[in-house]
Every structure is written in C-alpha cells, then in structure tokens.
Amino acid sequence: MSSEPGSTVAQNANKSVLVNPILSRSVHEPNRAATPLELFYDLVYVVAIAFLAGQLHHSLTDWHHVQMSILMYFWIFWCIWWPWNTYTFFASGYDTDDAQFRLASFMQMIGVIIIAIGIKPAFQSQDFMLIMLGYVVMRIPYILMWLKVARDDEGSRRVALRYAIGVFIVQCGWTLTVLFYQSWTAWVLLLIAELLVPWFAERSTDKGKNTKYHPEHLEERMGLLTIIVLGESILASVNAFDSAFKSFTPELGMSISGALLILFSMWWLYFDDKVEHELHNEKNTFIWAYGHYFVFAAAAAVGALISVCVDSVTDHGHISVAYATLGLGISISVYLVAVWVCHDYILKKKGTKGRELLILAVVVMVLSIVTKNVLLIGLAFAALNATRLYRRHKEFLLSA
C-alpha cells in the first residue's frame, strides 16, 4: 500500500456524472478529505459494530460461554473491519465520485447490512451463512471495480488484476468452507490469505506502478472510524448509566466518572499525533493500517466492558466486579498498545516519549487487578494526558 509520489492522473474538470475512467488519483491533491459518500458509507458500520458490541456485553454480563464469546467478538469484528479497510484504501486511490462509484458503494453497503443481520447467529451459534452472503454481495462490485481499473489505468493494470484475482480466489474459499466444510483451521488460513492479498498485489516488480494512496486522506478516514467506535462506546456507556441510575451508589458514581475519563482520554491520546508524513513508506502503511484493527476492536470492547462493569457494580449480572474490571483493563491495554504501534512506533519516538503508552498499559493492568477501581484507571489516563500537555507547553515556552 504505497503512497509514494509519481502517479499521473487525468484530472478532467468536465467529467461525466455517470461513468468515468477509473484512474489513479494524485497523492499531492491539496486538502483531500473524506467525501459525503464515505461518511454515509461508514454509517452501516455503526450498526454492525453496535450489534456486535451488544452481543459481547450480554454474553459477559451473563457469564455465558465467555471464552468462545471473546473469540467470536474478535473474529466477527475482523469480518466487519476488513471490508471497510479495503473499501477505504480503494477509495483513497481511485474514487471517481460518479454514478458508477456511488452505486458500487451502495451495493457494498447492502452487503454490510447483511453482515450486520448475520452477527447474532454467528456470535451465538457460529452460523456464518449470512456473513458469507454479505461478503459475496460486497465483493461482486469490489472485484468489478478493480477489473475496471485494470482496463482504464495502464500503469495500475497488473496490480489491479492481482487484487481482483486474489480477492476472487479467497472469496471462493470462504464460500466453499462455509457451505461444505466449516473448519476453524481453514478459516484462519483464509484470514491470513485475505491479509496477504494486498501485500501480494502491491509487491509489483514494476516499481512505481503500485497503487498510490493519499496519506492525509487515509489518516482522516482512520480517525473518523475511531471517532465512530468511541461514539459507540459512549452510547453503550450512557445506556448502562441510564438503566443503573435508579440504584445510584457512590461506587457507581466513581465508575461513571472513571468511564468518562477513560473514553475522553482514549480520544485525546489517539489524536495527539499525526502520522501522515510517515505513510509514504509502504511498510509503515501496512503496519499502520493493520494495526488499526486492534485500535477499533479494543475501543468498541471498552464500551461493552464499561457496561459490564456497571452491571457488576449494580448486581444486574452474573459477572463479578473483579472479572469485569479485569476485562476492561485488558481492553484498554490492547487499545494502548495498538495506538503505540500506529503512532509512537511509526513516528520512531525515542526515550520516555516512546514508551509512555506501554507504561500506561502496564499501569492499567495493575490497577484493574489490584484495585478493581475504574476511577483510578481513568485518573491514570488523565495523568498521562496532563503530563503530555505540560511537556508540550514547556517546549512551547522555551521555543517562544
């Protein structure tokens, strides 16, 4: 997934509103931002993620098949995240904003809706038929768009064909295994194959002819989905607070305060750095893009676990406060490590600056195990944000 300069783009001010050649867009477009279509496209993922987080919440609160529920959560979240990721990168490189691209996007949205409907049977009984059907619906327009790139853009032809063929082969594998041979071993191998398709397609022997992605646009798109997922977590938390408020206790008040500190601090830490200038490196782009799976999955899990913590404090579930807080600590720690990979590691931060998030992850785990106190975890988050603010203000004063 390269974003190196050098692409030639046909910029036609009088382009058709119906169908245009799909040509590689310039990585130097100024002020490239998410389009209204991309924002609309993201809304179907709001539904899918909310459905999945709800399943995790109820399963943990009821203490029902916990290990399988955690496995299914991360597995199904991958099924949701992966098509969003592939669509986002394709749009960054080739969005034509005409009728053909809009209709192809709508068709993929229908596929995501089918996936959302299939989350409950997949989570509860490992029935992936609807999710597989949703993938088929999504991938028909996705493959056709890559084939059109191969026809229209000579410089991208080989890469586009590798994408189209790779996705088609892997989708055939998913379909056959779901229909005839449901095996976790086969599914894990297919997941690995999915992740390798972009690597295979972009490993072009014709250097300079791999796909060009706009770093600023990609950073904004990842940031927008992070906001969406954190918004889901706030909604889940507010719903839990509302249902528990009739039996308000000081302990519940501390949990609510800690939860809000955690969610606000998660947003603050994520948007504290910009990495767009590091995404001209293909290796960095792969690490950054795939690392966001853990950012998104962990952020959504935090919302579910906050709800679980509220249920445990108010005795509305079968899970203990200790296990609920431990689950929250693990989710937060995964989020922190993922943000460290996507930001601090990519930016090559040195010294204490490069280890702050990892240290906070350890502190969160210790607090969740020893104190079982959500408020203390939130205060640890706030302390790191305050430390960063003080350091930057001091640097500002010295440079003034």
- Could you identify the residue written with the tokens 């924002």? 39
Q: Are 135 and 111 in contact (CB under 8 A)?
A: yes
Output the pLDDT for position 10.
42
pTM of the model: 0.91
Q: CB within 8 A of 321, min separation 6: which ones?
A: 309, 312, 313, 372
Q: Where are the domains of the chain?
A: 36-202, 215-399
pLDDT at 204: 59
Tell me, what's the pLDDT at 318? 86
Using CA atoms, how far apart are residues 45 and 302, in angstroms rounded to an integer?
Answer: 17
CATH number of 215-399: 1.20.1410
Per-residue pLDDT 10s for the chain (400 aa) are 544 444 434 444 567 888 889 988 888 888 888 999 999 999 999 999 999 999 999 999 988 789 999 999 999 999 999 999 999 999 999 999 999 999 999 999 999 999 999 999 999 999 999 999 999 999 999 999 999 999 999 888 999 999 999 999 999 999 999 999 889 999 999 999 999 999 888 875 554 456 778 888 999 999 999 999 999 899 888 888 887 777 778 888 888 899 999 999 999 999 998 898 888 888 888 899 999 999 999 999 999 999 999 888 887 778 999 999 999 999 999 999 999 999 999 999 988 889 999 999 999 999 999 999 999 999 999 999 999 999 888 888 888 7
pLDDT at 3: 44
Q: What is the 3-state secondary structure (H, E, C) of the chain?
A: CECCCCCCCCCCCCCCCCCCCCCCCCCCCCCCCCCHHHHHHHHHHHHHHHHHHHHHHHHHHCCCCHHHHHHHHHHHHHHHHHHHHHHHHHHHHHCCCCHHHHHHHHHHHHHHHHHHHCHHHHHHHCCCHHHHHHHHHHHHHHHHHHHHHHHHCHHHHHHHHHHHHHHHHHHHHHHHHHHHCCCHHHHHHHHHHHHHHHHHHHCCCCCCCCCECCHHHHHHHHHHHHHHHHHHHHHHHHHHHHHHHHHCCHHHHHHHHHHHHHHHHHHHHHCCCCCHHHCCCHHHHHHHHHHHHHHHHHHHHHHHHHHHHHHHHCCCCCCCHHHHHHHHHHHHHHHHHHHHHHHHHHHCCCHHHHCHHHHHHHHHHHHHHHCCCHHHHHHHHHHHHHHHHHHHHHHHHHHC
pLDDT of residue 314: 84
Q: Count Cβ atoms below 10 Å from residue 229 Cβ, excluding itself.
A: 27
Question: What pLDDT is stored for residue 5 in this prediction?
Answer: 41
Supply the pLDDT for residue 209.
56
pLDDT reported for residue 210: 60
pLDDT at 8: 38
Would you state the pLDDT for residue 14?
66
